[in-house]
């Protein structure tokens, strides 16, 4: 790695451990060079502090200068005052520190040790796992020098993609450097995570980027509920003209399977080998109906009577209810103490399910088991909704499928914990859902399988990747369990506050989040990165395709791609 060669930008003139550091810029450094979110380092006497720039301000040595400022045309006087009487200051929030192992080593202000070596030399030759980055529990002394972060600093903190000890993945670059910022995907998939940002900031592209990294690094298997058909096959790219970006199936044809709730819509998009997916009434539970109760207009009384019907007819209660006549309902209520009005209303509301193309009275084939077989074989599954992308369909089908898969994973995990046989260890599963606040809001979070998964963390080898533009709508307890948060621009103060739920030192980062660009910038903080960082996200383009796709991937026409996918399914026994 390169040594510290940049000139110092400023000196520490104040601050505290809780409030951050105040830095006075040197006269030759323009305050306009300093941008919120920039990564800087402070060279202390015994330690090197890795910091995030959180605020920029102007200062003067005397109020008289502001009372009688120099004329705009008086360049000479402005230059005389600059640096001494007028100056720029920045606020830094220390995130990590590295302490030099040699007790007597004392770096100089120029970034060189007394023996002429770089203060970074003690960690430049090491791998990222050898570097002991410590939480910040002290601060540098007065007049410690501040430097631009070097490539060595970024490698020390974030590692690099070819690190053999970790499954690192580059998510982007710093705002002002051409150095990759890596995320540890093994750590990432251990907990539930979130991708947040207001509409139009690129959440879908970030999601596609991270999913590609998980597939490429084999960190987990993915189950993706693709509400708007953006991840499996090609999708429209925002901007002028009609441009498309490749989907996961095109980049990893032998590893990704597409299931669809609307086969005709999927075929119209050019995907001719997607597997149809149907669900039946006997797979719908009362808990599923509670989740979509507002969409169907179900009252509490109707749901209470649904429990009476279930007690009588078992899992076929919906089929029995839909076929009941008024006389049948009257007779049932007399025998079972049901409420005729509530049951009749429940019948009318549930008849809306007949309009859902993927719902059947009975399914001779268990499609959810087929999805489980694909996941067990290491295949990644994308479930497309096509024209069935309304919230009723999305919430109902997603909850039904996930509940069954979670039950299977609980059983597998218990078998593994009992036997301790590594061969029985379930594959780590990441479930991606959009419009996450619909599943995880405080009113329904206790009724959905997603709330259970978020609270269990990695107990049963299943975690969530939630994608949402309204993080304030997610239950605070669930948000506190979100391990890594990848956040694009947010404007609403409640959403910004929600992002920092359970985050130590979040107050200093609010200004960073509020100042992000509206496109291709994100703040990443949490479990999978050593410290918060602002990145220019990696472009999802031809260069990325060549870098991330299967090693033997090449441009294929649709027929060639479908033949490759058919061969992969044959290998699985489908």
Q: Determine the Cα–Cα distance for residues 117 and 107; give it in Å rounded to an integer.
A: 9
Q: Determine the Cα–Cα distance for residues 533 and 524; give it in Å rounded to an integer.
A: 5
The pLDDT-based confidence of 115 (bands split at 50, 70, 90) is very low
The pLDDT, as a whole number, for residue 563 is 57
Instruction: Decide if pLDDT at 515 tops 60.
Output: yes
Contact between residue 408 and residue 372 where contact means Cβ atoms under 8 Å apart: yes
For 303, other C-beta atoms within 10 Å of its C-beta total 16
Instruction: Decide if pLDDT at 12 tops 50.
Output: yes
In terms of pLDDT, which residue wins out, 567 or 24?
24
| Residue range 20-54, pLDDT digits in tens | 999 999 988 888 889 888 999 999 988 899 999 99
% of the chain beyond a pLDDT of 70: 85
For residue 449 the two structure tokens come to: 């399988």
pTM to 2 decimals?
0.84
Instruction: Decide if pLDDT at 93 tops 70.
Output: yes
Rounded to an integer, the average pLDDT of 291-297 is 88
In terms of pLDDT, which residue wins out, 112 or 524?
524
Three-class SS state of 461:
coil
For 92, other C-beta atoms within 10 Å of its C-beta total 26
As a whole number, the mean pLDDT across the chain is 83
Instruction: Decide if pLDDT at 255 tops 90.
Output: yes
Highest mean pLDDT among 61-65, 96-100, 117-121, 182-186: 182-186
* DSSP characters over 534-546: EEEEPP-SHHHHH
Cα dist. 248→126, 230, 266, 519, 557 in Å? 35, 9, 15, 22, 15
Burial 26-46 (b: 16+ CB within 10 A, else e): beebeeeebebbbbbbbbbee
- Lowest mean pLDDT: which of 81-90, 285-294, 341-350? 81-90
The pLDDT, as a whole number, for residue 458 is 72
Instruction: Decide if pLDDT at 463 tops 90.
Output: yes
Closest C-alpha among 86, 83, 91 to residue 40:
91
The pLDDT, as a whole number, for residue 82 is 67
For residue 290 the two structure tokens come to: 């509670």
The pLDDT, as a whole number, for residue 67 is 62
HSE-up of residue 326 (Cα within 13 Å, Cβ side) = 1
Instruction: Decide if pLDDT at 572 tops 50.
Output: no
For 19, other C-beta atoms within 10 Å of its C-beta total 12
Three-class SS state of 44:
coil
Q: Is the dihedral of CA 132, 536, 506, 49 positive or negative?
A: positive
The pLDDT, as a whole number, for residue 69 is 74
Instruction: Decide if pLDDT at 561 tops 80.
Output: no
The pLDDT-based confidence of 571 (bands split at 50, 70, 90) is low
The pLDDT-based confidence of 410 (bands split at 50, 70, 90) is very high
HSE-up of residue 515 (Cα within 13 Å, Cβ side) = 16
Q: Determine the Cα–Cα distance for residues 511 and 217; give it in Å rounded to an integer.
A: 34
Instruction: Decide if pLDDT at 429 tops 90.
Output: yes
In terms of pLDDT, which residue wins out, 12 or 287?
12
Contact between residue 152 and residue 1 where contact means Cβ atoms under 8 Å apart: yes
Residue 33 C-alpha from the chain's centroid = 30
Three-class SS state of 226:
strand
Three-class SS state of 476:
helix
Give the helix ranges, DSSP H, for 52-190: 63-67, 75-81, 121-124, 151-158, 185-188
Rounded to an integer, the average pLDDT of 58-81 is 69
The pLDDT, as a whole number, for residue 245 is 85
Instruction: Decide if pLDDT at 573 tops 70.
Output: no
Three-class SS state of 310:
helix
For residue 274 the two structure tokens come to: 């997607």
In terms of pLDDT, which residue wins out, 387 or 559?
387
The pLDDT-based confidence of 570 (bands split at 50, 70, 90) is low
The pLDDT, as a whole number, for residue 221 is 96
């Amino acid at each position: 790695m390169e040594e510290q060669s940049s000139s110092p930008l400023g000196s520490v003139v104040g601050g505290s451990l809780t409030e951050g550091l105040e830095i006075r810029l040197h006269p030759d450094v323009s305050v306009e060079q300093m941008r919120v979110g920039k990564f800087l380092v402070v060279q202390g006497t015994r330690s090197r502090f890795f910091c995030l720039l959180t605020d920029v301000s102007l200062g003067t040595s005397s109020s008289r200068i502001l009372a009688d400022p120099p004329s705009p045309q008086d360049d000479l006087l402005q230059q005389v005052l600059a640096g001494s009487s007028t100056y720029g200051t920045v606020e830094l929030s220390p995130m990590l520190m590295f302490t030099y192992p040699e007790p007597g080593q004392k770096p100089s202000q120029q970034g060189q040790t007394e023996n002429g070596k770089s203060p970074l030399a003690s960690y430049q030759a090491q791998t990222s796992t050898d570097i002991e980055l410590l939480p910040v529990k002290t601060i540098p002394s007065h007049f410690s020098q501040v430097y631009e972060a070097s490539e060595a600093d970024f490698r020390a903190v974030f590692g690099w993609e070819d690190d053999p000890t970790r499954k690192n993945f580059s998510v982007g670059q710093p705002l002002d450097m051409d150095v990759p910022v890596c995320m540890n995907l093994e750590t990432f998939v251990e907990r539930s995570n979130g991708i947040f940002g207001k509409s139009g900031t690129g959440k879908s592209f970030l999601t596609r980027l991270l999913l590609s990294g998980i597939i490429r690094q084999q960190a987990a298997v993915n189950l993706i509920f693709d509400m708007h058909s953006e991840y499996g096959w090609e999708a429209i790219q925002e901007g002028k003209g009609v441009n498309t970006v490749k989907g996961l199936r095109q980049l990893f044809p032998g590893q990704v399977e597409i299931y669809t709730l609307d086969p005709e819509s999927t075929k119209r998009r050019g995907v001719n080998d997607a597997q149809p997916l149907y669900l039946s009434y006997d797979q719908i539970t009362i808990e599923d109906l509670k989740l979509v109760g507002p969409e169907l207009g179900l009252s509490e009384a109707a749901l209470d009577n649904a429990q009476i019907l279930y007690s009588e007819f078992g899992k076929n209660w919906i089929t029995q209810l839909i076929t009941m006549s008024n006389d049948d309902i009257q007779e049932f209520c007399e025998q079972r103490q049901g409420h005729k009005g509530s049951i009749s209303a429940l019948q009318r509301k549930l008849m809306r399910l007949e309009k859902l193309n993927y719902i059947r009275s009975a399914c001779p084939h268990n499609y959810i088991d087929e999805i489980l077989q694909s996941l067990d074989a290491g295949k990644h599954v994308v479930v497309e909704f096509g024209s069935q992308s309304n919230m009723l369909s999305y919430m109902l089908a997603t909850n039904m499928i996930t509940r069954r898969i979670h039950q299977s994973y609980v059983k597998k995990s218990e078998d593994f914990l009992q036997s301790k046989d590594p061969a029985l260890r379930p594959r780590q599963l990441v479930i991606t859902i959009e419009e996450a606040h619909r599943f995880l809001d405080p009113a329904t979070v206790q009724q959905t399988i997603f709330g259970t998964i978020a609270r269990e963390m990695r107990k049963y080898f299943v975690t969530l990747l939630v994608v949402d533009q309204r993080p304030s709508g997610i239950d605070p307890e669930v948000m506190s369990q979100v391990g890594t948060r990848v956040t694009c621009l947010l404007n609403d103060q409640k959403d910004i506050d929600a992002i920092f739920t359970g985050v130590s030192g979040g107050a200093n980062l609010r200004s960073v989040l509020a100042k992000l660009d509206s496109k291709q910038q994100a703040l990443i903080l949490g479990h999978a990165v050593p410290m918060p960082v602002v990145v220019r996200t990696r472009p999802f383009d031809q260069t990325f395709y060549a870098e991330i796709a299967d090693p033997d991937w090449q441009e294929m026409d649709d027929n060639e791609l479908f033949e490759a996918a058919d061969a992969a399914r044959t290998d699985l026994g489908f």
